[in-house]
Structures are given as C-alpha cells and as structure tokens.
Structure 1
C-alpha cells in the first residue's frame, strides 16, 4: 500500500494561500528538502486550483530549476476536479468518488505527493487518507487569507520529525496519531 504525503507552506497564523511570503525565508536547506520530497514521489495528487496554477507556471520554469523542474513537469498528475474537461501537463482527472479513487491510487503507487490543494487535503484528511503531513511553518504572520484547515476539520497527529532552517522555518512532519 502506497503512502500519501502532503507538503504544505503555512504562516504562523495558519495561512497557506499565495505563498509569496515564503520567499525571504526560502534557502538551500528548504530547496534540498523539497527536492527530496519531489524526487521520491511517483505521482502528484492535486486539486483543481493548484493544478491550474502549477500548469501555468512550471513548464516555463524547467530550464531554471533543472532536474527538479524536469521531474515536476514529467511526473504524472491526478487532479480532483468537477469542472475541467481537457487534461494537460501529464494529468488525468479523477472521476467519481475522490476518496475511493485515491484509495485505488494508493494501491498502484508507492509515494504520492500532495502540494497545496487545500480543499483536496481537507477531503483526504476527513477520509483518513494522508499518511504524513510535511508542513513548513514560516516565521511570518500575514493577518488574513485562507487557512490550511477548514473550520470543523479535526485530526489527531503525532510529531514524527522536526527541524528548523537557518532562516527560522520550522519543518514539521506529522503522522496520524
């Protein structure tokens, strides 16, 4: 059975959207860690909004990001969407029940990475499908924006690993308790 790991950027006040606030804190340590997260993944699992943003940005960034960009662009992607009809960028769209489809993906793949994709992450969490939450907590408070967790989302977690970058980003790995 494969493993789903969610890799998320959040502020101290829990905001995850539009992570331009992460730029001043992103360094070689995080770059290396993100490289390992991506290189060990077999497939990406994305929500529609993240998929559309990544699809627009990443193909043009491949030259500057080298091996990471090549892997990110070439990796198969499964996208949870009810509105898109024409998959692009090595993507296929999940049809039917998302939780059931993701259970099937876990049977077919060893390592499935979820980046961003807040609605999808909350749905997967409610169905106990996430095996690891790899969360980078950036030392900034932005005061407003979409929080990573929807109101009402509940999950008990255990800290499996933690470390801090030289720029003060706490990198926390949690597993379901």
Structure 2
C-alpha cells in the first residue's frame, strides 16, 4: 500500500497560512522539490489545487514569470508535471495533469493508496484534517519556520481525536527552519 504523507510549511505557533511570513528560500524549495519528486501523485483539495495552479502552472507562453527566482524553477517544473488528484464537490472539471476525486473520501483515498507506487503527498489545510480524522495519513512532515505569526489558520485545528506520533527524521536548515517527520504510532493489537 502506498503511504500518504502530509507535508506543509508552518510557523512556530502552528499557523499554516501561506502568507503568514513563510517566504520560500532556495534551501526549502530544493527540499520540497526533492520531496515532491518522490511522490507518485499529489492530493489536493479545491482551494489548495487552485492556489498551487495559479502560482506554479507553466504559462501558455512556456516561459516562467519574471517574479520567479531561478532557484524556484525546479520546484515549478516538478509540480507542473506531477500527477494530481483533486478532492472537490464543487468543481466540474480539472486539468493541469489532474483528475477529480468524488464520492466517499475515505473509500476514494484508500483506493489511491492501494494502487501500485511509492507514495502520495497531500498538502493544504482542510483536506488533511479530514484525512487525519479518518486515520489515512501515514506520515506528517512539517517545515517549521522560525516565525511567530500570531494569527491565521493553525495546523489541524478541529482534529476530533489526539494522534500520537513518533519522530522518524529531523533536518535543520541554515535559515533556522527545521523539518520534522513523524509517523502515527499504532496501538498494539
């Protein structure tokens, strides 16, 4: 079964809003590019899909926009060509190498996990909360930024039950950011 990894940037106080003072830098973009390249497919909710598409889809001209630093291009190219699954009850169609996921969320994601491959990656805020509540996330990966936002949506706010995690990896960046990866501990049968 393919593992499902939830990956996201967060501030020290748990804010997950992309405008909460979490500027991408070359080191973090290299990290996220490598992580994304390891996934067979990305799983997004509608809001994250639309936000990522507006920022990272290759323009029709084929040229990346002037605002994009040269070190961000590998990330843009990786996400642009990645297979995507979009969970949405409001979109009627998607493109950008994506397909809609409809119906029962738990069943649909279990089917995706049962397909052959190395793994799936989910990002965003609302969809990962639902997947965590269903016990479908196999790994949590947080790039913790040395920023206190003081406001904004927080990581997994509203989780129904506590999930005990065990640390499986940690990496420090020059910026002071730290990547931590955890797996849920499974109750002994």
1:16 aligns with 2:24: no
| Structure in which a larger fraction of residues adopt helix | 1
The higher radius of gyration belongs to: 2
1:55 alignment partner in structure 2: 53
Match of 1:38 among 13, 33, 36: 36
1:60 deviation in Å?
4.0
1:134 aligns with 2:141: yes
C-alpha distance in structure 1 between counterparts of 2:74 and 2:9, whole Å: 22
1:162 alignment partner in structure 2: 170
1:134·1:173 contact (CA, 8 Å) conserved in 2?
A: yes
Residues 39/134 of structure 1: CA separation in 2 closer, same or farther (3 Å cut): same
Any unmatched runs of 5+ in structure 1?
Answer: none
1:7 alignment partner in structure 2: 7
Moved >6 Å (runs of 4+): none
1:128 deviation in Å?
1.2
Normalised TM-score (structure 1)? 0.90
2:128 alignment partner in structure 1: 121
Count of matched residue pairs: 174
Normalised TM-score (structure 2)? 0.85
Residues 66/141 of structure 1: CA separation in 2 closer, same or farther (3 Å cut): closer
Residues 57/5 of structure 1: CA separation in 2 closer, same or farther (3 Å cut): same
SS of the residue 1:46 aligns to: strand
User: Alignment RMSD, CA only?
Assistant: 1.7
Deviations 1:117-170 (A, max 9, x none): 211101111111111111011111111101121224421111111121111111
